[in-house]
Amino acid sequence: MSERPTRPAHALTRRGLLQGALAAGAALGVSALGAGPAAAAGLTVTRLKVLAGTQAGVQYGVGATDLGIPARTPDGRLLFVFGDTWADAVGGTDWRSPVALYSSTSDLATGVVFSGAAGAGANTQVTAPQLWYYPHDAYYETVIPSDVITIGTRMYLHAIVNGPTFGAVRWTELWQSDDSGATWQHTGLKFPADMAGGRFQCITWGQGNDGYVYIYGTGFQRDKGIVLYRVPQNSMTALSAYQPWGYANGAWGWGNPATEVLPGKFGEMCLRPLGGKWILTWSNAGAYRIDAMVLNTPTDNLYTAAKTTLLTGCEWGAEDASHVAQLYGGYIIPGSTLSDLHLGVSQWNTGNNSVYHVEQFRIQGLV
């Protein structure tokens, strides 16, 4: 695994994305508490705890990290997959991505507690290793997890290969694990960076009860809307099996050219079947907040679907339970219900790197 004292190109580019969101938030009038769109009336928002990264203490060699995409493993535990991670601070020592931690927490209201690290090697109880080897260099700047899913006894992880700088996507790829996330093997499947007009770079997915996995995709640059695909759950590794949902000849249908199902500036997303419905949460980069939609099916009309603001961005020093500075992510933690939703939300203070972590939020009353 490669270690570098700094990563100027990545830090500059990614900071630019998040600083842009902070500036956009100020322009929208969310620079002070109570200004701009607040969390929807009737929601109760609780900041439960910092799960990993700064302000959480170093756990398994994780001192600074983000994302923390969660999934239920085949053996019943929770696996959280993190993005760029260092042992101490952003740009510090032992740069890894992705890494993953396990939890056996059964009562989310008490706060998620980690109980071990995934990855090959004898030191996983001390340091969470990078899940597979590659050097962080001029070709592979970094590899960022996009989403993880469990189908039967196998887990799949979609990952975004960046290079030579962050945000310049070379391709995305699919990895699999047959040991509840402990080790990962490449499936051989690579998705072109320009698939669906660059809208299949950052994805999220959920398993339906009809034998298909449904996938929303967007770009990795926080400047695009979303498209919809589906793939048979037993054909995850076959590129030709991924069917776009599109509009042609006056009608929507599978197999038509991919058509944007909702415009906007989407960041990280999380699609999950939950409580007989589907829920999509996403980082709304254009409006500097995290939003949600509860759907009957992923093919619902997203233009007319009701949208709820869960958390609103604000400036540092102006935070409360539902106003969060430089927020992104917003991944649904297994064990959630629609009325008692638990999210992993990332923050990065790009001004001084004092905050780079994942925090657990509890949102009650969505439905």
How do the residues of the chain divide into helix, strand and coil, expressed in percent and rounded to 5? 10, 45, 50
The parts of the chain modelled with pLDDT lower than 50 are: 1-12, 30-38
Separation of alpha carbons 119 and 128, rounded Å: 7
Residues in the chain, how many? Answer: 367
Query: Taking a C-beta distance cutoff of 8 angstroms, is the pair 52, 331 a contact?
Result: no
Contact predicate 86/63, CB 8 Å = yes
Q: Could you tell me if 285 and 343 are in contact, meaning their C-beta atoms sit under 8 angstroms apart?
A: no
Q: Which residue has the tokens 């090697």?
A: 121
As a whole number of angstroms, the distance between CA 223 and CA 17 comes to 10
Radius of gyration of the chain (CA): 19
The predicted-structure confidence for 247-256, as pLDDT tens digits, reads as follows: 999 999 999 9
How far apart, in whole angstroms, are the C-alpha atoms of residue 47 and residue 342?
10
CA distance 92 to 84: 11
pLDDT at 32: 34
Q: Identify the burial level of 178 via C-beta atoms within 10 angstroms of its C-beta, where 0-12 means exposed, 13-18 middle and 19 or more buried.
A: middle
First to last CA, the chain: 45
pLDDT at 24: 58
Q: Is the pTM of this model over 0.85?
A: yes
Residue that the structure tokens 């109980």 belong to: 115
Query: What pLDDT shows up at residue 22?
Result: 62
Q: Contact at 8 Å (CB) between 242 and 192?
A: no
Distance of alpha carbon 202 from alpha carbon 148, whole angstroms: 12
Long-range residue pairs from 92-96, CB within 8 A, at least 24 positions apart, any chain: 92/5, 92/63, 92/64, 93/3, 93/5, 94/1, 94/3, 94/61, 94/127, 95/1, 95/2, 95/3, 95/4, 95/7, 95/136, 95/142, 96/1, 96/128, 96/129, 96/130
How would you class 282 by CB atoms within 10 Å of its CB: exposed for 0-12, middle for 13-18, buried for 19 or more? buried
Cα separation, 210 vs 196, in Å, equals 24
One-letter amino acid for residue 105 of the chain: T
The pLDDT score that the predictor gives to residue 11 is: 44
| pLDDT of amino acid 125 | 82
Q: Cα–Cα distance between 287 and 191 in angstroms, integer?
A: 29
CB atoms within 10 A of CB 89: 14
